[in-house]
Amino acid sequence: MFETKHVLRVDQEELETVIPQIGGIVRIVNGAYCGSNARLLAVDTDKFCAKVQIEKGIYDGRVIKAVEYEDICKRLGFNIATQTVEGYVFVVVATSIMTNWALTKHRRLRMLFDGKEGRSKYP
């Protein structure tokens, strides 16, 4: 659609709000707390609303008991690395493994392209 510039028309009734699991992070996109990140505490499927707790800012810790689904959305991002100890450990270990791999490859290429016996010299 982006390449052809076609416009897609969708009725509101065809759309659904993506709600994360309880404990997940949502972004408040409408109302007094618009722009705030909050943790999803509960979902009331009968009333189509959610109970959330503001995470940071001047409203930190405030619990909002009835936020409509349309006023929140699932927060996207690399959450595992920014919200848990396990995530930080993963990032550190992965960085270590990739650094070791890159250095080993660099050493191997320097030995392979040493400039001797007519071979090219590795930069």
24 φ/ψ angles, rounded to the nearest 5 degrees: -75, 165
| Rounded distance between C-alpha atoms, residue 98 and residue 55, angstroms | 33
Whole-number pLDDT of residue 70: 84
Share of the chain above pLDDT 90, in %: 20
Q: What pTM value is reported for the model?
A: 0.52
Whole-number pLDDT of residue 61: 92
User: Per-residue pLDDT for 42 more than 90?
Assistant: yes
Whole-number pLDDT of residue 2: 56
Answer yes or no: are the C-beta atoms of 52 and 41 closer than 8 Å. yes
Between 80 and 41, the higher pLDDT residue? 41
Mean pLDDT in residue range 32-54? 91
Whole-number pLDDT of residue 9: 80
